[in-house]
Amino acid sequence: MLKVNLGDRIRQARERLGLTQEELARRADTSQAAVSYIERRRWVKDEVLARYAAALEIPVASLLEGLTPPMEDRRERFIHSAFEVVCRDGDFGFGARGDESLSVETMLDIVRLYERYKGIHLLPKDFA
């Protein structure tokens, strides 16, 4: 069985789009050295992962697929990660903070509103 990590997924997605590390760096508002570093590593901070996913035109969840524990834990992690991205976007300004006690379903609703508002996908389209 092939061992795949997050850095590999980012590199594979970049190569599928035919992008160089420099081109991805420009799209993700970072440096080529940062792209190279992340592609060699197994982890990426959530906020950085969201920038890379947007630059690669794919949902954050597709980069995380198969790298997390069982389905329910993975689902909640995807939702929490996406919700954190929403909370950091000062332009969206819906009034919630990432440290608030909201149900996972409420977070999912907010993430879906954000996706429609921004015209992006933080979660897969068929995410239930």
What's the domain range around 47?
Answer: 6-64
Say whether both 90 and 114 belong to one domain.
yes
Say whether both 57 and 99 belong to one domain.
no
Say whether both 35 and 81 belong to one domain.
no
Render pLDDT for 35-69 as a digit per residue (tens, 0 to 9).
998 888 766 777 788 889 889 988 888 887 766 55
Is the alpha carbon torsion for 41, 15, 28, 76 positive or negative? negative
Say whether both 42 and 60 belong to one domain.
yes
Asked whether the predicted pLDDT for residue 1 surpasses 60, the reply is: no
Say whether both 54 and 13 belong to one domain.
yes
pTM listed for this prediction: 0.50
Residue 93, SS3 per DSSP: coil
- If one compares 75 and 22, the residue with the highest pLDDT of the two is 22
Say whether both 75 and 47 belong to one domain.
no
